[in-house]
Structure 1
C-alpha cells in the first residue's frame, strides 16, 4: 500500500487543526529533542521547529512517498522508519508527538507503555474517533461482501479507543494525563467531498487492495452511498469528525 501526499494534503487545513489543538496543551519549554511519529509529508512537523528552534526535531514515517514529499532542511530531519522499530530501538527523547498515526498500529493501547518509556518529558498524540460514522461503516459493510472480502483479509483498517482508556493506560506509568475528545464539523465542497477525504486516508488501503474491475465497482457504490449519507447543501457538505486527544506529562519522582 502506498500513500499519496498530494491527495492527503487536499484538506490540509482541516487535518492540521487537531495537530495545533493537541500541541497547545504541551507545556514543554526548551526541549532538546522532539520526535514526530507518523509525520506524513512533514508540513506540520516544520511548525515544531518554529516553536522549539533550539531542539533537534526528527520526523519519522513508514511511507517513502510521504518522506520524499517532506521539505528538506528548515531545522527538521526526516527519516523513513516504522513506528514499532523506533519504539524498540530509539533512545528516549524529551517530547514525543504523534498526529493521526496510532490508529494504524494494531494493539497500540498495549504498546503505550513502551511508547511512554521513550518520552522523557511529554507524550502527545491524537487519533480519529469517528469509526461509527457512515464514512467508515459504509466501507466496512461493502468490504464484508464476499466478492470484496476475499481480497481484503489482511488490509489495514484503522481503530482507536476512548479518552478514558488512554488515561487508564498512561496514568499508572508516572504521567499526569490530560485526555479529551472534540468533534469538529468540517465544511467540505463538492458532491464527492467525503469520498475524496476518506480515499486519501482510512479507505485508501481497502481501495488499493482490490483488483481492477472490482475496485471500480466498489468505488462507484462507495461514492453513491457517501453522497446519500452526506448530501451537499447550500453551505457545502457537513462532515462531523470526532477526534481523541492525549497529552501526558511525566511527573518528577
Structure 2
C-alpha cells in the first residue's frame, strides 16, 4: 500500500523561514523580466506552502496576478491570510493543486515557479513539457529542489526507518537519493524542450542554533512522512525522534558558534523562446 501523503505543520516549517527563503531569493534573482503582454503578468507558484515567499513575487512584479498552488490544506489555510490585492495593484491568491497532475492550459502563465516542492513528486521531469507549453512566449519556468538526499541527515533517516525496529511501519515512506536530478540532467531536459537554460547547484552552510536544531529543521520538512506515519502513536513518535536525534547530534556536532548544517540545492531557470 502506498504511503499516505504527509501532513504539514506550517508553524514548524516557518521556524527556519530565514534560512529556507534564501534559496528562493537566489532563484528569483536569476529570473529574467517577464514578457510585455499588454496586461498584468500571470504568475504561478507551484507548491507555495504557507505563502511566505509567494508574497515576495509581488515585490518583484507589483501589478501581477499571482496564484500560489499547494496540496496541503494546512499550508493553504496559513497562506490564505496573505490573499488579496497587493500594494502595486496586483492580486495574490491561493488554490489547491497537486504538482503530480497540475496541467494548466497552454499560454496561461508568464512565469511558473516552484520552490522546494518537486522533490516530493516522483517523475516530475515528465511534467516539464506541459509546463513549458503553459508558458506564454518569452515566459520562464524556474525551480529549486534540495539536492541533499545523500547527506547524513537523509541517509540516517532512511537507515533508521529501514532498521529491524521500524521497517514494518516506515520502510516504504521515505524518498531515496534519486528524488531529484543533477543540474546537468535538468539542463538537458529543458534545452530539449527549446528553452534557454541556466542551471546550477549551491551548498549553503546554515548555522543553526538551539537544542537539536537539525532535528528541528527536519521536523518541518524531510521528516514529515515519518511523522505522518506515526501520528497515531505518540510513544513511537518520541522513540523514533530520540533515536534519530542522537544520530544527528553525532553527524552534526554543535560548535561554539552553533551547529553547521550543509545543505545542497539544485536550481534551474528555463526561458521559453519569444
TM-score, scaled relative to structure 1: 0.94
- Displacement of 1:45: 0.6
The residue aligned with 2:68 is 59
- Stretches of structure 1 that go unaligned for 5 or more consecutive residues are none
Q: Give the 3-state SS of the residue equivalent to 2:49 in structure 1.
A: coil
Structure 1 position 161 matched with structure 2 position 181: yes
CA change 1:230–1:218 in 2 (3 A) is: same
Shift of 1:90: 7.5
2:132–2:272 CA contact under 8 A, matched in 1: no
Displacement of 1:89? 5.9
Q: Tell me the CA shift for residue 80 of structure 1.
A: 1.7
In the other structure, the counterpart of 1:6 is 11
1:77 corresponds to: 93
- What is the alpha-carbon distance in structure 2 between the residues aligned to residue 65 and residue 52 of structure 1? 27
| Matches for 1:134-145 after TM superposition, within 5 Å | 134-145=152-163
Name structure 2 gaps, 5 residues minimum.
1-5
Structure-1 separation of matches of 2:104 and 2:164 = 38
Q: CA deviation at 1:91?
A: 5.8
Moved more, 231-240 or 207-216: 207-216
User: 1:114: Cα distance to partner?
Assistant: 2.2
Report the 3-state secondary structure (helix = DSSP H, G, I; strand = E; otherwise coil) of the residue aligned with 2:259.
strand
Aligned partners of 1:35 and 1:97 also within 8 Å = yes
Which whole-Å deviations, capped at 9, do the CAs of 1:188-214 have from their partners, x for residues lacking one? 002300000011101111122025233
1:218 is matched with 240
Partner of 1:242: 264
| 8 Å contact from structure 1 (residues 157, 202) kept in 2 | no
**Shift of residue 215, structure 1, vs aligned partner:** 2.3
Q: Which residue of 2 aligns with 1:103?
A: 119
| Contact 1:207 1:219 (8 Å CA) reproduced | no
**Number of residue equivalences:** 252
- SS of structure 1 residue aligned to 2:111: strand
CA-CA distance at 1:156 after TM superposition? 4.9
